[in-house]
Structure 1
Amino acid sequence: MTHSNTTGKASPRRFRHATMRDFPQMQKIYAHARALMAASGNPTQWGHEFPRESVILDDIANQRTMLLVDECNGRERILAQFALCPGQDPTYATIDGAWLDDDSYVTIHRIASSGLVRHAARDCIKWALKHYGNVRADTHPNNKAMQHVLESSGFARCGLIQLLDRPTDTTRIAYQRHEW
């Protein structure tokens, strides 16, 4: 996965777990993602504060956050980040539609690109599929970019789910891909 960029020669992309040292840069990437979503007609999915600091720190502490990184001019860069959550997701227990199956799965949550390179989110999704095989995700109806990434990555649109962790703006489109 070596990709060219405009800021110098980059090393191949690789994945690693986030550490607490990564937290400040991760906060900047989430802020960038929130601004980009708002500018593209999706201001409410993450609003001004999502993901909450406590959630990000918990993801890091529990080894759920994966980073897509490379090196450019001798410095590591975070290209994208996401939480990879194994086990049953309570939000997915009820769906207006149907999941592809009831097999065990992992869920991709809180995916965000730094904007430094193209196709970073797609690379994260491909990595998750390669390593876990059965992957679920969801996104806001206004998040056309993520819908495109998921659908062009072979995910099936399974129906609608309702988030459990907020009082309003709870509808999300649910996706699944199972590598048989």
Structure 2
Amino acid sequence: MYTTDRGMPIKSMPVVYMRRAKARDMASIVEILQGAKKYLKEQGLDQWQGEYPNLDTVQKDMDHHQAFVLVVDDQVAGYAAAFEGEDPLYTALEDGNWLVDGHDYASLHRVAMSDKYRGQRLAPRFMTALISYFYAQGARDFRIDTHPGNLPMQKVITNNGFEKRGTVHMQEGDNISTARWAYQLLIQD
């Protein structure tokens, strides 16, 4: 432990970074998603109240190199799936339009934080890390969606510069609302 010149302990800041998910992260990721499902249910939302997302979803994300984790002091604190290229979910936008058409954009999905880190303002940092990573890869157009009632995620999205562009519908399960508000962020060089 480090101390000041007066002998007082110096509290170190936690190390926070994003990286691609690894197989050893699977249990932590599934736990994060299960916690997120519970949290959404407590909010009265039907988002993620079926089988999706699950172990198979995460495995597919990993197989396609689309799985990312936020790490805090060597602990997996958040999960997201992200990729570049056309996303079938975003091809049928209703009640609005994309600022630019085309297939060259980065899609962000399944952004979730561990219950252990909720309230620490890490979700915005995770979003910034995802945007920065894909920006460095050449992406300038970013898309994301969330449930119309998911106010915490809407705040994270809009505080990162995204604008609501319309509605999309996803396949999530029987008796679950499929409407999701779709957002877009364009970054100019």
Fold conserved between structures, TM > 0.5? yes
Q: Which residue of 2 aligns with 1:4?
A: none
Q: Which residue of 1 aligns with 2:82?
A: 84
Q: Which residue of 2 aligns with 1:149?
A: 156
1:106 aligns with 2:106: yes
1:88-139 CA-to-partner distances (Å, cap 9, x unmatched) read: 1111111111112125111111111013331222112111222323210001
Q: Which residue of 1 aligns with 2:166?
A: 159
Q: Secondary structure at the match of 1:116?
A: helix
Query: Is contact 2:52-2:173 (8 Å) kept?
Result: no
Q: Secondary structure at the match of 1:111?
A: strand
Query: TM-score normalized by structure 1?
Result: 0.86
Q: Secondary structure at the match of 1:102?
A: coil
Q: Could you tell me how far 1:24 is from its partner in structure 2?
A: 0.8
Specify whether residues 27 and 124 from structure 1 end up closer, same or farther in structure 2 by C-alpha distance, changes over 3 A only: same
- State the identity %: 27
Query: TM-score normalized by structure 2?
Result: 0.82
Q: Distance in 2 between matches of 1:142 and 1:82?
A: 20
Structure 1: gaps of 5 or more residues: 1-7
Q: Which residue of 2 aligns with 1:38?
A: 41
Q: How many residues align?
A: 168
Between structures 1 and 2, the one with greater strand share: 1
The structure that has the greater radius of gyration is 2
Query: Is contact 2:83-2:106 (8 Å) kept?
Result: yes
Q: Distance in 2 between matches of 1:35 and 1:12?
A: 27
Specify whether residues 172 and 64 from structure 1 end up closer, same or farther in structure 2 by C-alpha distance, changes over 3 A only: same
Match of 2:64 among 62, 65, 80: 62
Structure 2: gaps of 5 or more residues: 1-10, 135-139
Q: Distance in 2 between matches of 1:52 and 1:115?
A: 17
For the aligned residue pairs, the C-alpha RMSD in angstroms reads 1.7
